Amino acid sequence: MAQSISNNDEGYDFSTPQHFSDLVLVVENTKFHVHKCVLSLSSPVFEKMLTSDFLEKDAKQIDLPGKKRDEFGAFLRVIYADVISQGKQINDKNNEFLLQLAEEYQVNKVKYLCHRKFLISSVEESNCFGIYKVAESYNLEDVMEKCAEVASRKPCWVLESSGDFCGLKAENRLRVYAKRARYFDETLKVEK
């Protein structure tokens, strides 16, 4: 039997029915009281699930196996967040699973917030390889470009000794090396 425990850590409480909630999503035996209209407007996957001839159309409760309670709660909080917050709930601990859920449920708002408001602004020398791998997984071209730019300023021995760098696709490692070559060409031009 599912339990309704408090899953509220940022002002969003899905643990009890509120404001005409009309659906319960169950993740790891935890109930999330949600609104079909909010989910349908946010996600074409939920829209199809809740309006087409699927079993879920008339269900009052839907189990979502294979999801993690804390991750799904964070995902819902981003969907329900008001426009003023502009992705402030997204951080280095949750952006990757939020991107994964956004892809699965086709929630472009969440993908945009993870991508444009968090990842691209977070790239720096200390994390560029890790972010590059995430961007590579979701084909976030502009994030990969920024990561390649930052990585291109690292010495070759740092690149070649990094497991994250070596784990990138060959074409992305080549992109970094090409940017590195251009960077040195520009540096030599300035010195002349």
Summarize pLDDT for 60-89 with one digit per residue, the tens. 999 999 999 999 998 998 888 754 355 667
Residue 175, number of CB atoms within 10 A of its CB: 20
Overall average pLDDT of the 90-111 stretch = 89
Model pTM score: 0.66
What does pLDDT average to over the chain? 85
What is the rounded distance in angstroms from the CA atom of residue 76 to the CA atom of residue 109? 12
Q: One-letter amino acid identity for 190?
A: V
Summarize pLDDT for 118-133 with one digit per residue, the tens. 899 999 999 999 999 9
What is the rounded distance in angstroms from the CA atom of residue 172 to the CA atom of residue 129? 11
Q: Write down the pLDDT at residue 62.
A: 92
How far CA 54 is from CA of 22, 63, 128, in Å, comes to 17, 14, 42
Overall average pLDDT of the 92-102 stretch = 90
Q: Write down the pLDDT at residue 87.
A: 61
Q: Write down the pLDDT at residue 151.
A: 93
Of 46 and 116, the structure prediction assigns the larger pLDDT to 46
Q: Write down the pLDDT at residue 17.
A: 85
How far CA 36 is from CA of 42, 76, 85, in Å, comes to 10, 12, 22
Summarize pLDDT for 42-55 with one digit per residue, the tens. 899 999 988 888 88
What is the rounded distance in angstroms from the CA atom of residue 100 to the CA atom of residue 66? 13
Summarize pLDDT for 167-191 with one digit per residue, the tens. 999 999 999 999 998 887 777 776 6
Please name the helix (run of DSSP H) or strand (run of DSSP E) that holds residue 27, with its range, or none.
strand 23-27
Give the helix ranges, DSSP H, for 33-155: 36-42, 44-51, 69-80, 95-105, 108-112, 120-122, 128-137, 141-151
Look at residue 13 and tell me whether its pLDDT is greater than 90. Answer: no
Q: Write down the pLDDT at residue 6.
A: 47
